[in-house]
Structure 1
Amino acid sequence: MSKGLTRRSMIAGSAASVLAAPALAQELPDTVQIRESLSSTTRRNTASFRAIQWRAHFPNLRNGAILVDIDSRALHLWQEDGGYHVYPSSVPQSAEMTRKGRTRVVRKVVGPTWRPTPNMRRRNPEWPAVVEPGPNNPLGTHALYLSWTYYRIHGTHDTRKIGRRSSSGCIGLYNEHIAEVFGMTKIGTQVLLI
């Protein structure tokens, strides 16, 4: 490889050409470049992200669609117009805490209040019953409530969790990413965890 040509510049060039193509007509690349602002650990984790075609998982894009891939720790979002976005995420710590299948967004909250589940309180009796919005809230700045009781897609103030098996069942995103996802998501958005 020449001095001026690096893997990063090749990916950036590929991403720029893909972004210039119309959203519905483009061929998705094997890898998707994620923002440079991510931590080096998360950037390493996102190097294995693969673009996914929505048609393999959803019958249509009515109200948009979110797919969470537990193994790759990535959240994929398609807007109704076909716009596609991918974000690094935290996922449940163990298979026992992981729920897979279809659900939907039933509520959206800016500045959510966190209440540990009964199981969390049994495992951690020292935890408070309620944590109001703010820097100590495990739900971060925004939360998408799913039709499954106790399950959310939410932000986190603890950025070390992203890209890891670190949650008690929810899907976590960086606060700046959940704000973007929140803005592109509707009540009724279909969600699939695989």
Structure 2
Amino acid sequence: MRKKTELLSRRAFVSAVGAAALAAPSVLSAQATEGVVRNVGSFRPHQWQDHFEKIGKGIILSDTNARFLQHWTADGEMRLYPTSVPLSEDLTRRGYTEVIDKKVAPGWGPTPAMRIRNPEWPAYIPGGDPLNPLGSHALYLSWQYYRIHGTQDTRKIGRRSSNGCIGLYNAQIAEVFGRTPIGTQVKLI
């Protein structure tokens, strides 16, 4: 008898949850009409004015928690891109920097800290090599060793997977690269 009672209460619970789920859209639309907006994800676009005094040559704002990058051109056009971000907090740098150089098919060499963590890694991989982690294009920041770059491994986008850099799909970094002059302001949050 006890098993039958537990089974009935589970069925009652599942039934109640199902009814609530069916009613949820009407509850959400009622909230929207009252001026309350609910966001179930962590994605929240930023306003450049909350971080910079002027747009200047352009702005790149990378949200390392939500894993997306916003890019504003000098004329105020804004685009969003999904990113990969550093593996851990100790590899994550936040704050203000700027684009100081740009390279197509950049070569890559691991930093001294990477060589200690991964002594089996090669000392250098030339640009264009399928094993090169910088992908097709790279924006070099004023912070030594930090880049916004493409990636050959598209599984990394949307994940904590880098050694400090911000990664984009190769097609998207090519777009950002073409729209970003040297001197573009950058902030990682």
* TM-score range normalised by the length of the shorter chain: 0.7 to 0.9
Return the TM-score normalized by structure 1: 0.75
Select the residue among 141, 148, 158 that pairs with 2:136.
141
Choose between structure 1 and 2: higher helix proportion.
2
Q: Which residue of 2 aligns with 1:67?
A: 61
Separation in 2 of the partners of 1:193 and 1:51? 14
Question: Post-superposition shift, 1:51?
Answer: 2.5
Residue 155 of structure 2: SS of its match in structure 1? helix
Q: Any stretches of 5+ residues in structure 2 without a counterpart?
A: 1-37
Separation in 1 of the partners of 2:112 and 2:97? 22
Return the TM-score normalized by structure 2: 0.77
> Please, what is the CA RMSD of the aligned residues?
1.8
Separation in 2 of the partners of 1:95 and 1:168? 10
Instruction: List per-residue Cα deviations over 1:66-96 (Å, max 9, x = no partner).
Output: 0000100000111111100010000000000
Q: Any stretches of 5+ residues in structure 1 without a counterpart?
A: 1-29, 32-46
The one-letter amino acid of 2:122's match is P
The one-letter amino acid of 2:96's match is R
Residue 121 of structure 1: SS of its match in structure 2? helix
How many residues are aligned here?
A: 152
The one-letter amino acid of 2:113's match is N
Separation in 1 of the partners of 2:59 and 2:53? 10
The one-letter amino acid of 2:85's match is V
The one-letter amino acid of 1:129's match is A
Q: Which residue of 2 aligns with 1:131?
A: 125
Bigger radius of gyration among the two: 2
Q: Which residue of 1 aligns with 2:48?
A: 54
Residue 126 of structure 1: SS of its match in structure 2? coil
Residue 99 of structure 1: SS of its match in structure 2? coil
Question: Post-superposition shift, 1:53?
Answer: 1.3
